[in-house]
Structure 1
Amino acid sequence: MISAGMAKAETVSYADAVSILAKDCGADIKKLCKGVNLGNGRIADCLKENTTKVSPTCTASLSSVATSIRRREDAQAAYEKVCAHDMAQHCRGVKGDGYILACLIKTQRLVGDKCNQAITDAGWR
């Protein structure tokens, strides 16, 4: 079972990831990781150590959230390369990354599908 929040979005922000995992894994964390300090991946490590005891809902959400975060990070890293042609064609003379992104979003109907998808997957729209 995948969280309702994950079903609506192709990628998820870190803040949303925390909310989804708190909802779907909160009981598992309280039960299996009591006393474990937050930070440095300790909770994730605890859940991995207790994989056989973690609920199916939590397991599914962990997988979905990790995939979504990875996809968002990959899209952010690839954005300039994927959108280079559209930047040159539709945003020539625009200076500054934020302004170029705003230009691409504003000219969304003219921008190629791959660039539009990268912007969406990066979480910028």
Structure 2
Amino acid sequence: MSALRQTDDVRASTARAYPAPAAPARAPRPRLKVVRAPGLARSRVPFVLTCIAILGGALLSALLLNTSMASIAFERYELSNDMGRLEQDRKDLVAELDQRSSPDRLAAAARELGMVEANGTGWLRLADGSVQGSPAPAGG
């Protein structure tokens, strides 16, 4: 028993030697507020409709762009064909002009119109008014 007494004495002496800590000051309780009921969960329909609208707009713009490019390519093809045809016509006309402007063809065309060849050629010198060469009247 004496051991028990000593432990009780030790406890009592330590209790007296160290004062008990003061109780912590309690924080004031927060005021309670009235809150609204939680709102209904938002519907995903507007988001889905917006996504579908964006996707539809993108597909429609791609379709319009593709159609526009195809029509431009067709127009370019048609213009290229027209240009090739016109280039061939120009070459044909240049060849015909070269053929008609040959000296033999010019002489034949002049005879058909009633023209005759000159017997001689002459030049008039403007500085002094003299005639050079041997001009002669055309024979008919």
TM-score bracket for this pair, using the shorter chain length = under 0.3
| Greater Rg over alpha carbons, structure | 2
Structure in which a larger fraction of residues adopt strand: 2
Normalised to the residue count of structure 2, the TM-score between the two structures is: 0.21
User: Which has a greater percent of helix?
Assistant: 1
